[in-house]
Amino acid sequence: MANLQTTYMGLSLKNPLIASSSGLTNTIANIKTLADNGIGAIVLKSMFEEQIHIETENYIKDEHGSVKTFNNAPSTILSKRVYDYEEAYSYIYDYAKNNTLSKYLSLITEAKKTVDIPIIASINCVSNYDWQSFAKKIQDSGADALELNIYILPSDFRRTDEENEKVYYEIINEVKRYVTIPIAIKIGFYFTSLAQSVQKLSESGINGLVLFNRPYNADIDIEKITLAPGNIYSSDFEYNHTLRWISILSGKTSCDLSASTGVHNFETVVKMLLAGANTVQMASVFYKHGFNVVPDILLRMNDWMKRHNFNSVDEFRGKLSKSNLENPAAIERVQFMKLYSGIE
């Protein structure tokens, strides 16, 4: 076997394949099966910031009767509610939140006991509220790293791009106050100036960037004439957007890059590595074809490396990065002209 070993955010992985955060990384049985199939690392299902608030609110309602809204509520997802006096509310709120969190913390601890590959915890966050209560606990439960999924659709006409981007830094700075394990952020591609924004984010002290989160895709049902959800799972041809940006950004960032979206087969894995990714993440392919695609991809990668005389991933990683190009857009324009001008 060729040497597939890779480092990502300072963690040592036996190969660059990571199971992306999804409903499939939420049980110990699946985590074990993924590890048995040879995956390099696993990102656990995200804990949603809203989930903590909602479950906590529900718990308070169920266990302690009706609640009423507190007028001076801080601007969290849900309005803050209180009992007759705020001290009681805080106590019960904290208790309920810890209960919700404890399930997630047990998953981390149990996963670490069960498998010997890196386990990356994940939080899907929208604000910098209340991080001190759980970021450190995640670290103390044994997570090797923390991935923060920060997805801000810049659709609010009242907010400037500076205001939208500020949220990323607020979250990163807040989390970094409480944890020393490596932090990755997983982002979408809606930035006014993507190359510059990603480069700046990479310099904020994070260790990894996951490019890109696949957004919820809105669709329209033309028979019912209603809004409808688009495909939940990616297709194997959806990787080009990620490939372009990995290749433009690799070598230009101060942290590692993990390629996500549309990675379904060994060809795409190799392409992402050639473009400069440190690791690749996969979710949809597991829903569509099961976990045993992992050994198949590893085997085919090995064959490809042998055919091209590469002994290690580092020998070919970034070979086709565009990092030495001043303005990749100019090259793309020429390619576009060449390709399309001949078609009538």
Ligand X SMILES: Cc1cc2nc3c(=O)[nH]c(=O)nc-3n(C[C@H](O)[C@H](O)[C@H](O)COP(=O)(O)O)c2cc1C
Q: Which is nearer to ligand X, 30 or 80 (CB)?
A: 30
Contact flag: residue 186 with ligand X (CB under 6 A):
yes
Task: Report in angstroms how near the CB of residue 23 gets to ligand X at its nearest.
Answer: 5
Question: What single-letter amino acid sits at 65?
Answer: G
Question: What single-letter amino acid sits at 134?
Answer: F
3-state secondary structure of 249: helix
Contact flag: residue 149 with ligand X (CB under 6 A):
yes
Contact flag: residue 265 with ligand X (CB under 6 A):
no
Contact flag: residue 40 with ligand X (CB under 6 A):
no
**Inter-residue contact 123 to 161 (CB < 8 Å):** no
Contact flag: residue 21 with ligand X (CB under 6 A):
yes
Contact flag: residue 30 with ligand X (CB under 6 A):
no
Only one of the segments 5-13, 102-110, 281-289, 324-332 lies at the binding site for ligand X (rule: CB under 6 A); that segment is 281-289
Q: Which is nearer to ligand X, 29 or 225 (CB)?
A: 29
Pick from 82, 206, 263, 277: which binds ligand X (CB under 6 A)?
263
Phi-psi region of 156 (alpha: psi -120 to 50; beta: other; left: phi over 0): beta
Tokens at 54, concatenated: 């909602």
Contact flag: residue 316 with ligand X (CB under 6 A):
no
Contact flag: residue 23 with ligand X (CB under 6 A):
yes
Q: Which is nearer to ligand X, 80 or 262 (CB)?
A: 262
Only one of the segments 73-81, 133-141, 193-201, 280-288 lies at the binding site for ligand X (rule: CB under 6 A); that segment is 280-288
SS (H, E, C) 100-120: HHHHHHHHHHHHHHHCCCCEE
DSSP H/E element including 282? strand 279-282
Q: Which residues, 6+ apart, have CB-to-CB distance to 235 below 8 Å? A: 262, 264, 284
Tokens at 4, concatenated: 């597939």
Site residues (CB under 6 A) for ligand X, limited to 119-138: 122, 124
Contact flag: residue 207 with ligand X (CB under 6 A):
no
Task: Report in angstroms how near the CB of residue 30 gets to ligand X at its nearest.
Answer: 13
Q: Which is nearer to ligand X, 216 or 336 (CB)?
A: 216
> Terminus-to-terminus CA distance in the chain, angstroms?
47
Pick from 6, 37, 139, 234: which binds ligand X (CB under 6 A)?
234
Q: Which is nearer to ligand X, 3 or 267 (CB)?
A: 267
Provide the greatest CA pair distance for the chain. Answer: 75
212 prior amide bond cis, ω within 30 = yes
- Residues 154 and 170: their CA atoms lie apart, in Å, by 17
Which residues here bind ligand X, judged by CB under 6 A? 20-23, 45-46, 122, 124, 149, 186, 213-214, 232-234, 260-263, 282-285
